[in-house]
């Protein structure tokens, strides 16, 4: 009995074993989870790089697990090896994430340094700008004060110049007065006046006597010396005779003296002639001495600008 | 008598070898796991990966308890404690690196904001 049964049992056992081998074991979820985690780690560049040793170990564990599962369907050992593979793949992923974070850190540090540099550059630029503004402001105020100083100096110079000019003019006027003293000039409200008396003309005539010619010489000399001055020659008569006659006589006498001056080189435009007739007597016409004083020619000097002061109305 | 011993010696050796092949002693695995757990604790991994460290410690304790009675199971537990502890350390290092990077990035942003404010025209001096 036992002898007959033994081979049967052996064959049965063999068949069972063969059957187990022939039909592949059902997929193990733990194995598949580990496999997919390993694949994820392999597909993550930083994990594949930084966790390469862990990944190798994980693959090795997975291969062992596959083998054990395929050969023995040992659930415990397969689960154990799959667990190791899973964990090692996770370690590889964590190592990759660490490297990623460290790279981020380095980039941020570099960025921080760049930004700090920018900040310092900006500060320096602001300081430079402020300094430049202050400089230009200082330069501006310097220029302004220089301008003011120049203006002050200029007006001082101008004042001095006009002072000098006034002094010169006064000096010159004084000199003219001295020079005309030889001609018995009078300083009147209208300016210097030289009076040529009746004696220098023949009675009732406009012909100049030799004395008058001397006066003309002297006056021409003075006028040459003072080219800024002009003269007004005014003729006067006494009240004897008609007004018209007297006006004509005074005009002719003044004109005669004008010709004498022009003969001596005095320009015509520097001489004005005015016939006053019997107006503006300097003495009474009721006696001979007075009348003689009234018959005269007056030579009025202009101011340095060539202007005459008008005679007040009689 | 002598013959018996002679027969028994190879048998004993075979048994011992067989025992070695099927169930290696758990001590090396426990030592390795213990080293990884200690490294995780020394690296302050508990602060950021408390669960993994706790898992590793529990498994290591069980491995030590089972070392004599079930060396195979003890070795498996120790090996798992080893990878648990290593994962705890790795995750904790990653988290620290992430936080440091985020901090520096925030600092850069603050600095840049200040810079942009500074770039606006300054008030006119009196």
pLDDT confidence band for B45 (50 / 70 / 90): confident
* Average pLDDT for chain A: 86
Tell me whether residues A101 and B79 touch, CB distance under 8 A.
no
Which residues, 6 or more positions from B11, have their beta carbon under 8 angstroms from its beta carbon? none
User: What's the rounded mean pLDDT across residues A191-197?
Assistant: 85
pLDDT of residue A314: 63
- Quick one: pLDDT at residue B21? 45
Question: Could you give the CA distance from residue A52 to residue A46 in angstroms, rounded to a whole number?
Answer: 9
ipTM score here? 0.75
CB–CB of A94 and B90 under 8 A?
yes
User: What's the whole-model pTM score?
Assistant: 0.51
**Residue B18 clears pLDDT 50, i.e. is over it:** no
Rounded-to-10 torsion of CA A83, A86, A90, A96: 140
Closest-CA residue of B relative to A89 is B87
Residue A14 is predicted with a pLDDT of: 53
- Confidence band, pLDDT 50/70/90 cuts, at residue A21: very low
Regarding beta strands A296-301 and A271-275, do their DSSP bridges make them parallel or antiparallel, or are they unpaired? unpaired
| pLDDT tens, position by position, A61-99 | 999 999 999 998 899 999 999 999 999 999 999 999 999
Residue in A closest to B72 by C-alpha: A77
User: Does B112 sit within 8 Å of A115, measured CB to CB?
Assistant: yes
Facing B100 at nearest CB: one of A80, A94, A105: A105
For residue B93, which residues of chain A lie inside 8 Å, CB to CB?
94, 98
> Reduced to 3 states, what is the DSSP secondary structure of residue A236?
strand
Confidence of residue B2 (pLDDT cuts 50, 70, 90): low
Q: What is the pLDDT of residues B106-124, one digit of tens each?
A: 988 888 888 787 665 455 4
Q: With 50 as the cut, is the pLDDT of residue B16 above it?
A: no
Per residue in A142-183, pLDDT tens?
A: 999 999 999 999 999 999 999 998 888 888 888 888 877 777
A234: part of which helix (H) or strand (E)?
Answer: strand A231-236
Residue A71 distance to chain B (closest CA, Å):
16
Q: Is the pLDDT of residue B8 over 90?
A: no
Highest mean pLDDT among A261-265, B5-9, B12-16: A261-265
Nearest residue on chain B to A51, judged by CA atoms?
B90
pLDDT at B3 (0 to 100) = 52
Cα–Cα distance, A291 to B83 (Å, whole number): 156
Instruction: Rank A10-19, A90-99, A122-131 by mean pLDDT and report only the highest.
Output: A90-99
Please indicate if any CB of chain B lies within 8 Å of the CB of A116: yes
Search chain B and give the residue with CA nearest A125.
B119
User: Chain B contact for A128, CB < 8 A?
Assistant: no
Of B97, B105, B112, the CB nearest to A102: B97
Angle between helices A29-43 and A52-72 (to 10 degrees): 160
Pick the range with the lowest mean pLDDT from A4-8, A299-303, B25-29: A4-8
DSSP string, A177-209: HHHHHTTT-EEETTEEEEEEPGGGB-TT--PBP
Question: Using CB atoms, which residue from B90, B105, B119 is nearest to A108?
Answer: B105
Interface test with A, best of B49, B87, B102, B119 (most A CBs within 10 A): B87
Query: What pLDDT is attached to residue A10?
Result: 61
- Does A102 contact B118 at a Cβ distance shorter than 8 Å? no
Q: Which CA distances in Å does B39 have to A92, A109, B32, B92, B115?
A: 18, 29, 11, 12, 44
Q: Which residue has the higher pLDDT, A89 or A26?
A: A89
**Is B101 in Cβ contact with A101 (below 8 Å)?**
yes
Q: Is the alpha carbon torsion for A185, A191, A197, A202 positive or negative?
A: positive
Mean pLDDT of B57-69: 95
Residue A24's pLDDT band, with cuts at 50, 70 and 90, is low
Whether A127 has its CB under 8 Å from any CB of chain B: the answer is no
Q: Which residues 61-100 of A are in CB contact (within 8 Å) with B?
A: 76-77, 80, 83-84, 87-88, 90-91, 94-95, 97-98
User: Does the pLDDT value for residue A234 go beyond 60?
Assistant: yes
User: Is the pLDDT at A25 greater than 80, yes or no?
Assistant: no
């Amino acid at each position: 009995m036992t002898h007959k049964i033994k081979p049967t049992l052996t064959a049965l056992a063999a068949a069972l074993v063969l059957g187990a081998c022939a039909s592949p074991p059902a997929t193990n979820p733990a194995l598949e989870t580990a496999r997919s985690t390993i694949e994820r780690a392999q597909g993550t560049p930083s994990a594949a790089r930084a966790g390469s040793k862990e990944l190798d170990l994980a693959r090795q564990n997975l291969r062992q697990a596959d083998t054990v599962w395929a050969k023995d369907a040992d659930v415990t050992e397969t689960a154990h090896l799959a667990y190791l593979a899973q964990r090692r793949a996770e370690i590889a992923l964590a190592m990759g994430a660490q490297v990623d974070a460290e790279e981020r850190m380095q980039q941020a540090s570099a960025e921080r340094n760049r930004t700090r540099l920018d900040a310092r550059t900006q500060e320096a630029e602001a300081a430079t700008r402020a300094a430049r503004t202050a400089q230009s402001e200082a330069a501006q105020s310097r220029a302004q004060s220089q301008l003011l100083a120049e203006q002050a100096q200029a007006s001082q110079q101008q004042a001095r110049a006009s002072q000098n000019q006034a002094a010169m003019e006064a000096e010159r006027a004084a000199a003219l007065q001295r020079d005309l003293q030889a001609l018995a000039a009078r300083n009147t409200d209208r300016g210097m006046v030289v009076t040529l008396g009746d004696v220098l003309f023949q009675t009732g005539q406009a012909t100049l006597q030799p004395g008058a010619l001397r006066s003309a010489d002297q006056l021409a000399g003075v006028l040459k010396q003072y080219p800024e001055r002009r003269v007004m020659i005014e003729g006067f008569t006494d009240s004897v005779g008609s007004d018209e006659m007297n006006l004509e006589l005074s005009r002719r006498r003044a004109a005669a003296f004008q010709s004498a001056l022009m003969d001596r080189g005095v320009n015509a435009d520097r001489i004005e002639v005015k016939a006053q007739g019997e107006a503006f007597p300097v003495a009474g016409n009721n006696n001979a001495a007075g009348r003689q004083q009234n018959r005269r020619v007056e030579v009025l000097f202009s101011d340095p600008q060539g202007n005459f002061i008008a005679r007040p109305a009689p | 008598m002598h013959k018996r011993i002679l027969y028994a010696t190879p048998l004993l050796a075979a048994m011992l070898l067989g025992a070695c092949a099927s169930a290696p002693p758990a001590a090396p695995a426990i030592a390795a796991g213990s080293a990884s757990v200690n490294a995780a604790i020394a690296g302050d991994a508990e602060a950021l990966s408390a669960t993994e460290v706790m898992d590793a410690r529990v498994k290591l304790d069980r491995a030590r308890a089972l070392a004599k009675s079930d060396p195979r199971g003890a070795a498996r537990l120790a090996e798992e404690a080893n990878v648990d502890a290593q994962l705890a350390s790795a995750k904790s290092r990653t988290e620290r690196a992430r936080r440091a990077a985020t901090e520096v990035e925030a600092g850069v942003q603050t600095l840049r904001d200040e810079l942009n404010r500074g770039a606006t025209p300054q008030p006119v001096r009196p």
